[in-house]
Amino acid sequence: MKKVIYFVFLFISIIFISCSSKENKYNELFINVGSEPKTIDPALSISIADSTYIIHAFEGLLSKDKEGKLIGAAAESWDISEDGLVYTFHLRTNAKWSDGVNVTAEDFVYSWKRVVDRNTASEGSLQLEPIKNARDIIFGKLNSDSLGVKAINDYTFEVTLERPMPYFLELTSLSTFYPVRKDIIEKYGDTWTMNPESYVCNGPYMILERSIDDKIVMVKNVNYWDYWNIIPEKITFVIMNNPTSSEAAIKEGSLHFSTILQNNDIDKLRNEGYVQYISKLGVIYYALNITNEVLKDDRVRKALSLVIDRNYIVNNVVKSGLPAGALVPFGIPYSEGDFREVGGDYISVKPEDYATNLYEARRLMAEAGYPNGNNFPVITFLSDSTASSQIFEAVQHMWKETLNIDSTIDQEELAVFLQTFFTDKNYVLARGGWTADYTDPMTFLSLFLSYSPQNHSSFSNEEYDNLIISSMSMTNEIERMNTLHKAEKILFDNDVIIPLYYDTVPILISPKLKNVVYDTLSRYRFNYAYLDE
């Protein structure tokens, strides 16, 4: 019966598209954000690219408007208790799933408990840590039924926090907090995301077709509460990770938007009107496996970092962004100023200091037992893209020229890379980076908690953990930010990462494509986009 209902709604969607096509021949967009997604399960996805698909098919309690302001989504209003611990969300009574079933508070209760359940193995589970008992559930001390969430009735969802959290409402707009359907998960198990019939969603779009390594086709969800304000009738996400092909497709008009391009072509493409630079609250760095025999030595890690000419990389290779001398990027303000400006750099990126950096790097390597690179093993850089390989080729040359050490590149498809990097941690040096989930230093610094699933470096420091955890209960803004500054300093005292640059993203875009919603968190939305004749 449910299968029949699904196809009825799919048929209705196609009729709507057909009718709209007569009025607007530009109702389909062709978008490319990379290779085959590792997963499009909201609870499991940690990739920015993969989240692009998810945010078009689902929505959480809150969302963001075109200007980045938080607005109601599945929830039309909410109340916060005087002590800041209890949030009561009032759901829309007209919010429905793509098969016509009402979205209820129980859907959120189930979905959030699923995220923190250890059996789900959600790498984003710590985003729910502010909720009462979440941390103890994640670490197996309590079962998921202890999570501080409950359905007061079908349309009232209550959340109790461990402590007041200034950015909790922003968290509810993240994909980890999206609802999924219990009956669907129980029926289809791990394969529920693989077929249009089972990918039941509550957002503006639903999947019409999914072809592995080829495309994901989405059409407007006729049951979406804000259906009439969604513009593109159809979005075809082209699965492709070939810069040459994506550049050619943009020029010929078979593709309208792509995040895949070659750094060497940026200047030419920009002059031709096909490239825009998008501001981003993010950082690119090299991740170091500090359990590796060679990289265990902090002097080696520091030397590898000091040799890198970040200004050269920004000006001549990526041709965008700002040189990075720390982890948390510019763009997170508080009452004392911008977090990065207040904290300063841990590695000088001033051009006039580069010669001093090189001298210190040679001294450290000699002290570590590798004068002029003698006896230093060949190290392998793990990459997931042509662009990051191009950057490493420049770094490779810098290391060879100054330290006389050799290195190689191992490039993997994104899904394989994520498995090797995050899950297996089977690497020496890898392309790392993070784009903020929310506008607070914690989105970057929490990555390196000893128990964080995203702690790819296997860094473990009790003082660091204590500072991060204690900051979570601080209500005084300045005290809290000072504590986070101290934590960041510990990261660089231990040379846990090699920062490269604060990201500004070049995007391939057709001059005809208008009204794409950008934000500094790189969640690109096409709900209101259109093609201008």
The residue with greater pLDDT, 234 or 457, is 234
Average pLDDT estimate for 110-132: 93
119 has pLDDT over 80? yes
CA 142 to CA 481: how far, in whole Å? 31
* Confidence label for 102 from pLDDT (cuts 50, 70 and 90): very high
Q: Region 389-397: what's the mean pLDDT? A: 92
Give pLDDT tens digits for 357-385.
999 999 999 999 999 999 999 999 988 87
φ and ψ of 125, to 5 deg:
-60, -30
Residue 19 pLDDT exceeds 70: no
| Amino acid at residue number 19 | C
Cβ neighbours of 429 (radius 10 Å)? 23
pLDDT of residue 21: 42
- Give the percent of the chain with pLDDT over 90: 72
- pLDDT value for 216: 97
What is the predicted pLDDT for the residue at 424?
79
Q: What is the pLDDT of residue 22?
A: 38
* DSSP letters spanning 478-514: HHHHHHHHHHHHHHHHTT-EEEEEEEEEEEEE-TTEE
Domains of the chain and any CATH numbers: 1-57+202-274+510-533 (3.40.190.10), 59-179 (3.90.76.10), 280-505 (3.10.105.10)
Average pLDDT of the residues in 33-59: 92
Model confidence pLDDT, tens digit, residues 272-314: 999 998 888 899 999 999 888 889 999 999 999 999 999 999 9
Which residues are CB-neighbours of 521 under 8 A, at least 6 positions away?
A: 280, 281, 435, 436, 437, 438
pLDDT of the residue at 262: 85
Task: State the CB neighbour count (10 A cutoff) for residue 264.
Answer: 13
**Average pLDDT over the chain, rounded to whole?**
91
Pairing between β-strand 234-238 and β-strand 215-220 as defined by DSSP bridges:
antiparallel
Task: Quick: pLDDT tens for 466-484.
Answer: 999 999 878 889 999 999 9
Q: Is the pLDDT of residue 200 over 50?
A: yes
Return the higher-pLDDT residue of 413 and 246. 246
**Contact residues for 44 (Cβ-Cβ < 8 A; gap 6+):** 120, 121, 122, 123, 124
Q: Answer with the residue of higher pLDDT: 20 or 494.
A: 494
**pLDDT of 23 higher than 50:** no
Q: Once rounded to an integer, what is the mean pLDDT over residues 135-158? A: 96
Q: 11 or 310: whose pLDDT is higher? A: 310
b vs e for 71-87, b when ≥16 Cβ sit within 10 Å of the residue's Cβ?
eebbbbebeeeeeebeb
Quickly state the pLDDT bin for 36 (edges 50, 70, 90).
Answer: very high
pLDDT digit string, tens, across residues 40-50: 999 998 788 88
221-245 tens-digit pLDDT: 999 999 999 999 999 999 999 999 9
pLDDT band at 386 (very low <50, low <70, confident <90, very high): low
What's the pLDDT at 211?
96
Most confident listed range (201-210, 389-398, 463-472): 201-210
Among 399, 430, 398, smallest CA distance to 412 is for 430
User: Is residue 195 over pLDDT 80?
Assistant: yes
Percent of the chain with pLDDT over 70: 95
Question: What is the mean pLDDT of the segment spanning 63-74?
Answer: 90
Quickly state the pLDDT bin for 161 (edges 50, 70, 90).
very high
At 397, give phi and psi (nearest 5°). Answer: -65, -40
**Range with the poorest average pLDDT among 83-97, 301-315, 412-426, 506-520:** 412-426
Residue 20 has pLDDT above 50, yes or no: no
Q: What is the pLDDT of residue 137?
A: 96
* Cβ–Cβ under 8 Å, residues 176 and 131: no
pLDDT at 366: 97
The confidence score (pLDDT) of residue 45 equals 86
